[in-house]
Amino acid sequence: MIRCFKARQFFFLFLVTLIWFLISGLGKVYAEGKKEDTLSTADTLIAERRYNEAILLLTQYIKNNPDRFDDAQRRLQRIIKLREDYNKIAGDLLNILVSDPTNDERKLAMIRQLEGLEAAPNRAAREFILKTKETALFTYNRAQFEKIMADGRTLIDKGDYGNATKRYTDGFSLYREEFYQAGYGDIVVNSVNKGLKDIQQYLITFNALQPELQKRIDTFINLTTTISFSTNLEPILESYTELEALLYQYANVRNALASIGRGFESQFALLQSADPTLGDSSFLPFAFRFILGRKTEIQPEGIVGALDTFWIKGMNSLENALIHSLNGLYARYYDEYQNNPLVLEDPKIEKLSALSNFTLRVFSVWSSIAVKEFQYQVTNYGKSIAVNKIPIYLSVQALLETTTTLNDYYKVLKDYLVISEQQKMLFESWKAGQASQDGTIAGLQRGRENLINLRNALKIYEDIAAKRLQNYSFYQENGIDLGSGITQLQNGVKSLVFLEQHINDQELSLVSQKYTVENAGITTILNTRTTAYDKALNLIQGMQISTQNGSTYLAKYPKESLPLFNELDRQLSGDIQKARSVLSTYAAEPLVITNDVALQILRKETSDLLRRLEVLQSQVRTNSSIAQQQSALADSLKLEGDRRYLEAQTALRNLNFDLARQRLQQSGERYDASLAVQESFELRSLRDQRLLSLATEISKTENETVVRDVRRLITEAKRAYFTGDFIKAEDTLLQAQNRWKTTNVDDEPEVAYWLTLARSALSIKTGRTIPITAPLYPEMSQLLNAAQQAFEAGRSLLAAKKRTEALEQFDIARKKIQEVRILFPLNQEAGLLELQIDQLIDPAAFAANFRDRLSAAQAKLAAQPQEGYAELQDLYTINPNYPGLKAIIERAEIQLGLRLPPPDPRAIARSNELVAAAKRIIDTNTRSQFPVALAQLNEALKLNPNNEQAVALKDRIQTDVGGQATVVLSSAAEREYQRAVQELQNGNTIVALAIVEQLLQDPKNKNSTKLVELQKRIQSRL
pLDDT digits (tens, 9 = 90+) for 717-732: 878 877 777 778 888 8
Q: Tell whether the torsion through CA atoms of 818, 820, 823 and 827 is positive or negative.
A: negative
Closest CA to 724 of 549, 896, 561: 896
- Structure confidence at residue 484 as a pLDDT band (50, 70, 90): confident
Confidence at residue 118, expressed as pLDDT on a 0 to 100 scale: 60
- Are 254 and 282 part of one and the same domain? yes
**273-305 b/e with 16+ CB inside 10 Å = b?**
eeeeeeeebbbbbbbbbbbbbeeeeeebbbbbb
Q: Is the pLDDT of residue 941 over 80?
A: no
**Residues 277 and 349 placed together within one structural domain of the fold:** yes
Contact residues for 211 (Cβ-Cβ < 8 A; gap 6+): none
Mean pLDDT, to the nearest integer, of 486-510? 87
Distance in Å from the first CA to the final CA of the chain = 138
Q: Evaluate the CA torsion angle 167, 171, 177, 180 in order and state its sign.
A: negative
CA dist 264 and 257 (Å) reads 11
The b/e string for 79-97 (b: 16+ C-beta within 10 A; e otherwise) is: beebbeebbebbeebbebb
On whether the CB atoms of residues 997 and 1015 are closer than 8 A, the answer is: yes
**pLDDT value of residue 881:** 75
Tell me: do 509 and 434 sit in the same domain.
yes
Dihedral class, residue 762 (left if φ above 0, else alpha if ψ from -120 to 50, else beta): alpha
Tell how many helices (H) and how many strands (E) occur in the chain: 36, 2
Among 901, 934, 950, give the residue marking a domain's end.
Answer: 901
Residue 164 pLDDT level (bands cut at 50, 70, 90): very high
With beta carbons less than 8 A apart as the criterion, state whether 346 and 407 touch.
yes
Phi, then psi, of 554 in degrees rounded to 5: -90, 120
Residue 31: predicted pLDDT: 34
Q: Are 875 and 850 in contact (CB under 8 A)?
A: yes
- 252 with 367: CB under 8 angstroms? no
List the single range of 161-165, 646-650, 816-820 with lowest mean pLDDT: 816-820
How much is the pLDDT for 621? 93
The answer to whether residues 240 and 359 touch, using CB atoms and an 8 Å cutoff, is no
**What phi and psi, each to the nearest 5 degrees, are found at residue 363?**
-65, -30
CA distance 186 to 1001: 155
With CA atoms as reference, report the closest residue to 720 among 740, 739, 735.
735
Average the pLDDT over each of 107-121, 375-389, 655-669, 937-951 and give the range with the smallest value. Answer: 107-121
Check: CB of residue 717 under 8 Å from CB of residue 738. Answer: no
344 shares its domain with 246: yes
8 Å CB contact between 442 and 435: no
Which pairs from 920-927 meet CB under 8 Å and 24+ separation?
922/953, 922/956, 922/957, 927/961
Distances (CA, A) of 562 to 361, 534, 539, 913: 89, 13, 9, 72
Q: Are 352 and 330 in contact (CB under 8 A)?
A: yes
Query: Does 8 fall in a domain?
Result: no
Together in a domain, 449 and 356: no
Residue 962 domain-assigned? no
Domain housing 997: 969-1020
Q: CA-CA distance, 401 to 108, in Å (whole number)?
A: 66
Least confident of 145-154, 363-372, 892-901: 892-901
Winning range, highest mean pLDDT, from 172-181, 393-402, 543-552, 708-717: 172-181
Do 72 and 43 touch, CB atoms closer than 8 A? no
Give the residue-averaged pLDDT of 350-367.
86
Residue 586 falls inside a structural domain: yes
> Is 582 contained in some domain?
yes
- From residue 874, alpha-carbon distances to 51, 765, 826, 833, 869 in Å are 191, 13, 10, 10, 9
Rounded to an integer, what distance in angstroms lies between the CA atom of residue 163 and that of residue 145? 16
Q: Assess contact for 486 and 472: CB atoms under 8 A.
A: yes
Q: Are 783 and 777 in contact (CB under 8 A)?
A: no
Candidate from 332-346, 406-420, 489-503, 506-520 with smallest mean pLDDT: 332-346
Which residues are bridge partners to 545 per DSSP?
A: 553
Instruction: Provide the mean pLDDT of the chain.
Output: 80
Q: Are residues 743 and 671 in the same domain?
A: no
pLDDT in the model for residue 880 = 77
Q: Among candidates 517, 507, 527, 512, which has minimal Cα distance to 430? A: 517
Q: How many domains does the chain have?
A: 5
Q: For residue 235, what pLDDT is reported? A: 86
**pLDDT tens for each residue of 774-803:** 677 687 788 778 888 888 888 888 888 888
- 15 has pLDDT over 60: no
Using CA atoms, how far residue 312 sits from 217, 316, 385, 708, in Å, is: 12, 6, 10, 142
Most confident of 391-405, 690-704, 994-1008: 391-405
Distance, CA of 103 to CA of 108 (rounded, Å):
9
Q: What is the pLDDT of residue 788?
A: 80
Where among 613, 645, 679 does a domain terminate?
679
Spatial separation of the C-alpha atoms in residues 630 and 627, rounded to whole Å = 5
In this structure, the answer to whether residues 588 and 634 fall within a common structural domain is yes
Q: Is the dihedral of CA 680, 683, 685, 691 positive or negative?
A: negative
Helix (H) or strand (E) holding 92: helix 69-99
pLDDT tens for 57-104 read 777 777 788 777 777 778 877 777 776 666 666 556 555 654 555 565
Give the 3-state secondary structure of residue 123.
helix
Q: Are 753 and 783 in contact (CB under 8 A)?
A: no
* Residue 865 vs residues 255, 834, 855: alpha-carbon distances, Å: 146, 20, 13
* Confidence grade of residue 11 (pLDDT, cut at 50, 70, 90): very low
Whether residue 398 lies inside any domain: the answer is: yes
> Residue 212's closest CA among 256, 245, 261, 165?
245
Say yes or no: 600 and 643 in one domain.
Answer: yes
How far, in Å, are 546, 557, 991, 1013 from residue 984 at the CA level?
21, 28, 8, 13
Fill in the DSSP letter of residue 969. -
**Dihedral (C-alpha) 199, 201, 203, 207: value to the nearest 10 degrees?**
180
Give the CA radius of gyration of the chain: 74
Residue 457 lies in a domain: yes
Give the other-Cβ count within 10 Å of 63's Cβ: 12
pLDDT digits (tens, 9 = 90+) for 729-759: 888 888 888 877 777 767 778 888 787 777 7
Report CA dihedral (589, 595, 596, 597) to the nearest 10 degrees: 130
Residue 34 covered by a domain: no
pLDDT for 329 equals 85
Q: Are residues 832 and 760 in the same domain?
A: yes
Which residues partner with 544 through β-bridges? 554
Closest alpha carbon to 406 in 357, 465, 453, 361: 465
* 825 plus 774 within the same structural domain: yes
d(CA 236, CA 220): 7
Nearest to 254 by CA among 212, 298, 205: 205
Domain shared by 880 and 746, yes or no? yes
Rounded Cα gap, residues 399 and 485, in angstroms: 5
Say if pTM beats, i.e. exceeds, 0.75.
no
Given a contact cutoff of 8 angstroms between Cβ atoms, the answer to whether 364 and 390 are in contact is: no
Closest among 969, 989, 972 to 980, alpha carbons compared: 989
Give pLDDT, residue 24. 38
In whole angstroms, what is the distance from residue 692 CA to residue 668 CA? Answer: 10
- Strands of 680-719 (E only): list them: none
Q: Are residues 605 and 711 in the same domain?
A: no
Stretch 534-540: mean pLDDT: 91
Domain-ending residue, one of 901, 930, 953: 901
Q: What is the DSSP letter of 34?
A: -
Closest CA to 710 of 671, 736, 680: 736
Question: Which residue type, as a one-letter code, is found at position 997?
Answer: E
Over range 500-511, report the average pLDDT.
87
Is residue 85, in this structure, part of any structural domain at all?
A: no
Query: What whole-number distance in Å separates Cα of residue 684 and Cα of residue 973?
Result: 12
What is the pLDDT at residue 336? Answer: 82
Neighbours of 472 (CB within 10 A): 22
3-class SS of residue 897: coil
